[in-house]
Structure 1
Amino acid sequence: MPNPAVAPALWRRLFSIVYDLLLLMSLILLAGFIFIGITHGRQTPLIRAIYQTYLFSVIGAYYLWFWLHGGQTLPMKAWRIRLVAADGGALRPRQAFIRFLAAWLSLAGIGILWAFVDRDRQFLHDRLANTRLVTVPRS
């Protein structure tokens, strides 16, 4: 059971993000190969738009599946981090979806920089989605 009083250290969350990005690169490569196989490598503005939407959906499916089925991606398990609702309860699909969309702010650094000024050291996307990251105790 996670300890809601103990937020993971910022460095642990950042390492988990880097680890997640490595896994996502593999997933995106696989998804890209599948898409190229289906489209036979054709490139038109419409196909590029569909491809970008497809990759966005693949990334979203990755996060939403793991967040809604245990609250952890593989890197989050490795770093003993779990995503829960702000009240410590189970994450709802709407919260996971809002968190995923709001997390894109972190690409500009906004979401992560927010943790330096937040009283609980939570990311901006966690505040917006009413979620929080908690430390999972060693078993």
Structure 2
Amino acid sequence: MLIYEAALVFGVVFFASFVFDVSTQSKSALSLRLMREVFLFFVIGGYFVFFWRRSGQTLAMQTWRIKLVNDDLGKVPLVKAIVRYCLAWLWVLPGFILSYQFGLKNAQLLIPVLVCFCIWASLTFFAKDGQFLHDKLAKTRLIQLPKQNSST
């Protein structure tokens, strides 16, 4: 699911970057770099929050029949969806901070990011309900939807 979601988000980021470059008349990806990163953070967040609020599912989650719900299995409120998005960055943020602290560049910076990613993902094996830490903190949960019978 993660690869499929990444492919969809890539399309969103590509289009948003195009809009950003046209609107700022940017000629280089390095110019206005911080502004671009902040803009993309909000665009990606908007993508996830929109779909989580609308149906509890992004396009990739629909494919895999996974739905995000509130603790009471109801629709996720706006604030919880935003909190979940921000907390989900804990998957990779510590790795980026470590990379920055140690001055790692290019492929080297991926090592701490991937280590943090794997540690975060492995925490689900120790959770009784198999939920991610950011879901526990945001008081949301992922549920598996049943297969729908295709009547022909």
Report the TM-score when normalising by structure 1: 0.82
Large movers: runs of 4+ above 4 Å: 42-46
Aligned residue pair count: 124
Secondary structure class of the residue paired with 1:132: strand
* Residue 107 (structure 2) pairs with residue 98 (structure 1): no
Letter in 1 for 2:50: W
1:80/1:136 contact within 8 Å kept: yes
Partner deviation per Cα, 1:34-59 (whole Å, 9 max, x = no partner): 11112222569882221111000110
Give the Cα separation in 2 of the matches to 1:90 and 1:33.
33
Q: Residue 115 of structure 1 aligns with which residue?
A: 124
Q: Which has the larger radius of gyration?
A: 2
**Structure 1 residues not aligned, in runs of 5+:** 1-15
1:98/1:129 contact within 8 Å kept: yes
Secondary structure class of the residue paired with 2:80: helix
Secondary structure class of the residue paired with 1:95: helix
Give the Cα separation in 2 of the matches to 1:100 and 1:44.
25
Give the Cα separation in 1 of the matches to 2:3 and 2:39.
22
Letter in 2 for 1:55: L
**Stretch deviating more after TM superposition (100-109 or 43-52):** 43-52
Q: Residue 62 of structure 1 aligns with which residue?
A: 47
Report the TM-score when normalising by structure 2: 0.75
* Greater RCO, 1 or 2 (C-alpha within 8 Å, sep 6+): 1
Secondary structure class of the residue paired with 1:127: helix
Shift of 1:111: 3.2
- 1:111–1:86 CA distance, 2 compared to 1 (3 A): farther
Letter in 1 for 2:36: Y
Give the Cα separation in 1 of the matches to 2:10 and 2:26.
20
